[in-house]
A and B are shown apart, each in its own frame.
Chain A
Amino acid sequence: MTTRWTRKDLLGLRELSADEINFILETADAFKQVGTREIKKVPALRGKTLVNFFVEPSTRTRTSFELAAFRLSADVINISATTSSLTKGETLKDTARNLQALHADILVLRHSSAGAPQFLANRLKASVVNAGDGAHEHPTQALLDLYTIRERRGKIAELRVAIIGDILFSRVARSNIFGLLKLGARVTLVGPSTLVPREFEKLGVEVSHKIDDVLPQADVVNLLRIQHERQRKEYFPGIGEYIRLFGLTKKRAKLLKPDCLIMHPGPINRGVEIDSEVADGLQSVILDQVTNGLAVRMAVLYLCGGIAT
C-alpha cells in the first residue's frame, strides 16, 4: 500500500480521496482483529488525551469513540453540552481553546451546527474528529457503513445502494453519498419529495419517490431514522402515511434480493422506518455496524492522532 495518511483532522468524506477512504478501512481491519483477542487493548495512543466533546446529545457514537480510545490506551474525558461552560455563555472557540491549553491531543466533536468541526480544526493544533455536525457530515458512521458493506459483499464498486428516509436533514446520508460514490457504488435516494429534493441529483445520485421500484434492484438498503419530533410538520403529513409510502414493512422486505443487506445507523424506530422483524431478520447487519464502528473509530483516532504530534 502506497497511501499515507497526512491529515490532522477527519472532518468529512467529501474531502477524502478513494485511496484515503480505503486506507482507513484497511487500517480498521487490523483493529477489528484486536477486538477478538482476549486482551483487547493496544498501546497505540498511550499518553495521548482524547476529549469527547458532545455539544449535541448522543449515546452510541460517544460510547463507541470512548471505547475505541480506551482500546488504544488513550486517556479520555467526556464533556457534554450540559456539563460544559457553553451553557454559561462561553463560545465554542473559547471552550476549545481551554481544552487545547490542557494539551488535549484529539477532540471528537458532535455539534448541531454544520461546519463546527471545521471551525475548530482551523483554530486548534489538536486533531479534530467530526462525530456529526448538523445535517452536514458524520464521517465515521459512513466509514463503518462502508466497512460493513465491504466485509459482507467483498466490494463496494458497482453495488446498488438505496438510502431511504429523511435525506435532507441527514448527515449520515451525506457522508454515505460522498463515500459510496468515491468507491464506485450506485446510489439511489428514496423518500418523500420534501425530504429528498431533486437537487440531490446534482451530487451524482438518483432520486426516487417509489420505494417498491427501488427495493428489487438494491444490493444494500440503508434506512435512516425518521425524526418526526425534530421536524417541522409541513415536511410530511404524519408517521402513518410515511409508513404506508416508505416504511420497510415485512411485505415490502419480500421485494428485496435474498442477499441484499439491511442497514440502519440507529437508533431504530421499530415499526416506523423498519418493521421490527425485518430489523432483526437474517438480512439485517445492524449489529455488525455497531461492532465495526469500534474498529473504524480506532483506525480514525490512530491515524489522526499519529499526525497531531
Chain B
Amino acid sequence: MTATVIRNGRVIDPANKQDEIVDLLIIDGKIADVSQLSTLNSQPEEIDARDLIVCPGLIDMHVHLREPGFSHKETIESGARAAAAGGFTTVLCMPNTSPAADNPSTIAWIKDRAAAVACVNVLPSGAISKNLGGEELSPIGSLAQAGVVAISDDGYCVQNHEVMRRAVEYARMVGLPVLDHCQDYNLVGNGVVHEGYWSILLGLPGWPAAGEEAMVMRNILLAELCDHHIHCQHITTAGSVRLIREARARGIKISGEVCPHHITLTDEAIQHFDTNYKMNPPLRSQTDVDALLEGIADGTLSILCSDHAPHAEFEKEVEFDAAPFGIIGLETELGLFLDQLVHKHNKIDIARVIAMYTVEPARLLKIDAGTLSVGARGDVTLVNPGLEWTVSVDRFESASRNSPFGGWKLKGRAVRTIVGGKTVWTL
C-alpha cells in the first residue's frame, strides 16, 4: 500500500462544492477518506500545501500531441510532460494526425503509446469523417469501442450539413459528444487573420467573424434537431457568444470553450507579421474579447482549454500567409487564465476557473476525472494562485517553442501535478 497525504491546503473541488482548508489523502492511486489516515500501517508521503490550492487534476480537452506522424513538432511523451508542467493530469488529443485518428488501429496505437510514455492521462478523440475529409463518416461506433471519448474533425470542419447531421445522430447512439471546429470554408476562403481594421491595413486575407458564427448557428440547429450535445471548439467572436447564450437559455445541448490567446490578445498583435500570432481561428477585435469575457462570466462559455498546437521553428519561421496556424499553450494557459480572469479582470473566482478545467469537461466527456470524491482517481493539481512568474519559452517541456507569451509576467500557476497518487511534475 502506498499513501500520500496533502496537508493544510485549500481544497477546492467544484464537483462536490467543496472549498475548505483540509488534508487530502490518496491511497493506492485513489482519493481516500481522510479519516483512514489514522489506520495506515505505514508512513504516508507528506506534501505540505500550506497557502496552496489543492484541486482535482486539471483537464485540457483540446490539445494536439502530433503523434502519429508529426513527431518533429511534439510527441505524446513531450506533450504529456508539457501538460504536467501546466498542471494538467488529463488531456484530450485531437485526431488530425497522420494517419488521421479515424480508425480503431490508430486509436489503439495512441493508447498504447500513451500507456508506455505519457506521464499524464492521454485520452484520444476520433475523427468525425474519414481522413477528416468531411464527406464520409468515420467508423464512429468502432472508434467508441476503441476508446475515444469524443469525435471531432478539429482543424477541419464538416461543411455538408447533412453529413454533420448524420454524424451527430450516430454519435448520440454510441454516446459520444461531438466537438466542432466552427469554420465555413466559403466565407473564410484563404483568410489568415481576423477580417477588420488590421486585415484592411495590412492587406492580409481576412477571416470574418461570420465564418465562425455560421457554423455555430448550424451546430445549434443540429443539436436541437438531433437532441444531442455539440461542443463548439475555440469560440472567438461576440456573435458566437450571443448565439450560444440564446441557445443554452432555450435548453439546447450546445456548449463552447475558450483559449487564453483569444482573451489576452487582439488582432492588433499581427501588425509586425510575427507568425506566433497566427492561429485558427484568428485573434479578434477588442469587442470580441470583451464578449468572450462576459460569456465566461455568465457561464455561456463553460470550458477553458489551450488548443495546444506545436509547430517546429522552421515551419513557423516563414512568410506570414505560408506559416501554419497555431501556438502551444499547455504550459501557459492556467497562468494566463488566472492572471486575466481572476486577478486582472475579476470576471470569475478561482473556484470557477477550476470548475471550467475539471467538472465541466469531465461531465461533457463523461469521463472518470475532475473530482476529488472518495474513490476517484488520485489526480490532483496544486496551484499557487498568487505566485508571480515570467514565462520563459526556453524552459518549456514541449518539443516546440511557438508561443507569443515569452516574457509575459503572470500571477498564478500550478506548482505540483499528481497523477494516480504519484507526483509527475513539481516546480
**Interface residues of A, Cβ cutoff 8 Å to B:** 14, 91-93, 111, 113-116, 118-119, 134-137, 169, 171, 174, 197, 199-200, 202-203, 232
Contact = CB atoms under 8 A, between A and B. Distances in A.
A94 to B, nearest CB: 9
A115 B272 CA distance: 7
Contacts of A232: 189
Contacts of A134: 203-204, 321
Counting chain A CB atoms within 10 Å of each CB, the highest count among B189, B201, B204, B321 belongs to B201
Contacts of A119: 273, 318-320
A92 B273 CA distance: 15
Interface in B268-291: 272-273
Nearest to A113: B319
A111 B319 contact: yes
Nearest to B200: A199
Given A134-B203, A134-B204, A174-B203, A118 B318 contact: no
B314 A91 contact: yes
Contacts of A197: 200
A200 B200 contact: yes
Contacts of B318: 91-93, 119
A174 B197 CA distance: 13
B201 A203 contact: yes
B321 A114 contact: yes
B322 interface: yes
Interface residues of B, number: 17
Given A136-B203, A232-B189, A114 B273 contact: yes
A116 B197 contact: no
A92 B204 contact: no
Nearest to B315: A91
Nearest to A116: B319
A266 B382 CA distance: 65
B178 to A, nearest CB: 31
A114 B204 contact: yes
A167 to B, nearest CB: 9
Contacts of B320: 113-116, 119
A114 B202 contact: yes
Contacts of B202: 114-115, 136
B287 to A, nearest CB: 14
B375 interface: no
Given A115-B319, A115-B320, A134-B321, A171 B200 contact: no
The 4 closest A-B pairs by CB, nearest first: A115-B273, A135-B203, A113-B319, A136-B203
Given A115-B204, A134-B203, A199-B197, 12 more contacts: A91-B314, A93-B318, A111-B319, A113-B320, A114-B204, A114-B320, A115-B320, A118-B272, A135-B204, A171-B203, A174-B203, A199-B200
A205 B288 CA distance: 25
B197 A113 contact: no
A171 B204 CA distance: 11
14 contacts: A92-B319, A93-B317, A113-B319, A113-B320, A114-B202, A114-B203, A115-B204, A115-B273, A116-B320, A134-B321, A135-B204, A136-B202, A200-B200, A203-B200
Contacts of B273: 114-115, 118-119
A284 B273 CA distance: 37
A202 B267 CA distance: 15
Contacts of A203: 200-201
Interface in B302-318: 314, 317-318
A202 B200 contact: yes
Nearest to B317: A93
Nearest to B199: A199
Nearest to B189: A232
A232 B196 CA distance: 20
B351 to A, nearest CB: 41
A92 to B, nearest CB: 6
Contacts of A93: 317-318
Contacts of B200: 197, 199-200, 202-203
Nearest to A174: B203
B319 A199 contact: no
Contacts of B196: 199
A174 B322 CA distance: 22
A113 B321 contact: yes
Nearest to B186: A234
Interface string B185-201: 00001000000110011
Contacts of A199: 196-197, 200
Given A91-B317, A118-B273, A119-B320, A136 B197 contact: no
A113 to B, nearest CB: 4
Nearest to A134: B203
A137 B271 CA distance: 13
A277 to B, nearest CB: 33
Interface in B15-63: none
A197 B197 CA distance: 11
Contacts of A169: 203
Contacts of A136: 202-204
B387 to A, nearest CB: 34
A46 B197 CA distance: 43
Interface in B200-214: 200-204
B362 to A, nearest CB: 42
Interface in B240-289: 272-273
A200 B197 CA distance: 8
A14 B317 CA distance: 24
A200 to B, nearest CB: 6
A135 B318 CA distance: 17
Contacts of A116: 319-320
A184 B208 CA distance: 32
A134 B192 CA distance: 13
Contacts of A118: 272-273
B198 to A, nearest CB: 10
A250 to B, nearest CB: 32
A203 to B, nearest CB: 7
Given A91-B314, A92-B318, A137 B197 contact: no
A11 to B, nearest CB: 10
A91 B323 CA distance: 11
Contacts of B197: 199, 202
Nearest to A171: B203
B230 to A, nearest CB: 29
